[in-house]
Structure 1
């Protein structure tokens, strides 16, 4: 297989001396649109995210390559994938007071756009007034050099003060209009001196977790439990990217320099505790792009949640979650989607040379429609 650098060289050689008019069928939506207003006619077209939402909804959770492009171009635009649109349509009829089965597991080849699809659905939920519980990357929890502290609450497990603090900040930014509405259902004892009383606003509890990082992990645990108990008052979406990281080896070690398993991390334990019976919508995504200390021969749910990367003693747990979700494959771009993406790059001068039909054919051949590969190759054109 050609390396990306050599692939780009092939395309650059084709570009030399070639100029053409824009592809006739390539249409770029060069306007901003509220995701609540998206319709069937927008599927497989580009649309832009309101600039204010970029900082609120997606401050640090987007793939680094896509974030770099967004910063360089000065706006966030992406292709509305059909899978995202179909999930948005289903969420329109979601009723928190009624039985439901919105439990999806996104999977697909490396770089196919699973994280972007997840973000598109999250953006819809935020604009529709949902409370969103979002874990932007489990591997950022399990492959981290941040502090690991033995738990005083659950022997043999570990808290992650800095990781929990960062998550609480992001949660409050994303759900600022909800944190004062959720009140504690019971008293919580955080330590010998710190406690919170039933009826206290969750906003105050989050403040305490931010001021005292040693308590931040326990605050996250309490927050998720209280949100589950508040179900029915408002719509809640639980979204987790890189979910298979909950069952894959970590790069963390304890004080004895022994490897720590993900099941020993209280943030992971709390997450897995609530997923099976979570009362709101659940959207999980799989990825092997940032896996360390192990490798998977494939990218299917069976490879990543039931394969060799999952310890045998945990396969029953991972399989139960897998069986409870509807698996949705995120495919590469269609030829039409790729051409619309290229036309957008040209309009925004991300590509500074006109693209010939020969180059289009070569890009399609070299990338097979993979969004990440296409983006990487075009960055050098």
Structure 2
């Protein structure tokens, strides 16, 4: 089997344009048929208008919206590289995203918040499904509370230190400040328009405080400017958002990729006694567990669980019950599971047509598409890896 795959890989490389190929040479490659273009693209760029008619078709996220929503993360690195190469941010409309969007549109937001959990094998597109839903939230005036990849805090924090005044707790001040910058970038225009205010005074030290009635932007800017208090500011911000949302002052979309990282037995962060700390000892964990509980209204939670979100070890199953463990499962129960699967034949064919249209691969000879299908098993990430630049 390995020899067959290697042979097919060699054949495949003959039809993928090399990285050194010039723009002019790429433009000279045979264009895809016009009929194929109509099959894999849609002019409907508003995710709220997507339906079964657009399934397996690519839509383009306007550059300004892409910058607003994803400047701080939320798209896979290789996908970001593809966006730079093709000078457009295209997402495929897929059924899991449409299912979540349909639930959100029909939801009664006056009821306790509903949690939607994306799950599936590695590389099936959970992150891009979340990106599609985030785009909907941004253009429909949801306040976004988005964590692009929670495992980064548990595996490779920028800096870890003992939390002041919280014995046994570990603070991640630079990660908290980076998240506040991301939150501000996604929501600054909406926050300015809504003029949301804090409900109480927050005292940070003998000389520093944020008075009651301050805007949420002022609260956020304090945490960014005073990194020492970034984690405390994040906790205060999340608490205020829940109160404001429940009071009907705003509607909130929580999106956390790799949510099960909050429930792994250990992190890669060490305490003073050289012992690995558990996620519940990280100050950043608690605000995001707080906002994913069901004790508030006027919001939705879209969470993903992933095998690679775990700190270490081989995960035997991608099912939510297995990845969340007892504590995580009980925290979310009840939730709505959304299974993200490999490409269907129609989606796979659309993907190939997109690369033909971008002149990234040459016009395929007979059997070429079947070779790609066999080698990738129609897994989105595996397919992207196979057709990457040599």
Q: Same fold (TM over 0.5)?
A: yes
Deviations 1:111-170 (A, max 9, x none): 000000011001001001111100111111111241112112422112111001100001
Which residue does 2:321 correspond to in 1?
A: 302
The reply on whether 1:242 has 2:277 as its aligned counterpart is: no
Which residue does 1:311 correspond to in 2?
A: none
Q: Runs ≥4 in structure 1, deviation > 4 angstroms?
A: 1-7, 13-16, 19-26
| Aligned mates of 1:7, 1:65 — CA distance in 2 | 23
Q: Which runs of 5+ in 2 are unaligned?
A: 18-29
- Alpha carbons of structure 1 residues 190 and 372: separation in structure 2 relative to 1, 3 Å: same
Match of 1:363 among 362, 372, 376: 372
- Alpha carbons of structure 1 residues 202 and 2: separation in structure 2 relative to 1, 3 Å: farther
Deviation (angstroms), 1:30: 6.3
| Aligned mates of 2:218, 2:6 — CA distance in 1 | 51
The reply on whether 1:48 has 2:60 as its aligned counterpart is: yes
Match of 2:198 among 174, 178, 184: 184
Segment drifting more, 159-168 vs 40-49: 40-49
Which residue does 2:22 correspond to in 1?
A: none
Q: Which runs of 5+ in 1 are unaligned?
A: 307-314
Aligned partner of residue 189 in structure 2, secondary structure:
coil
- Alpha carbons of structure 1 residues 7 and 186: separation in structure 2 relative to 1, 3 Å: farther
| Aligned mates of 1:7, 1:320 — CA distance in 2 | 46
Which residue does 1:103 correspond to in 2?
A: 115
> Quick check: 1:95–1:235 contact (8 Å CA) kept in 2?
no
| Aligned mates of 1:21, 1:267 — CA distance in 2 | 49
Deviation (angstroms), 1:293: 2.7
Which residue does 1:310 correspond to in 2?
A: none
| Aligned mates of 1:115, 1:72 — CA distance in 2 | 20
State TM-score, norm by structure 2: 0.88
| Aligned mates of 1:23, 1:377 — CA distance in 2 | 25
| Aligned mates of 1:301, 1:5 — CA distance in 2 | 34
| Aligned mates of 2:231, 2:35 — CA distance in 1 | 54
Aligned partner of residue 154 in structure 1, secondary structure:
coil
Deviation (angstroms), 1:189: 1.2
Deviations 1:46-83 (A, max 9, x none): 11111111111111221111111111111111211111
| Aligned mates of 2:112, 2:307 — CA distance in 1 | 30
> Quick check: 1:23–1:339 contact (8 Å CA) kept in 2?
no
- Alpha carbons of structure 1 residues 226 and 20: separation in structure 2 relative to 1, 3 Å: closer
Number of residues of Structure 1 aligned to a counterpart in Structure 2: 368
Aligned partner of residue 331 in structure 1, secondary structure:
coil
Which residue does 1:270 correspond to in 2?
A: 287
Deviations 1:301-339 (A, max 9, x none): 122112xxxxxxxx3x21213422111110100011011
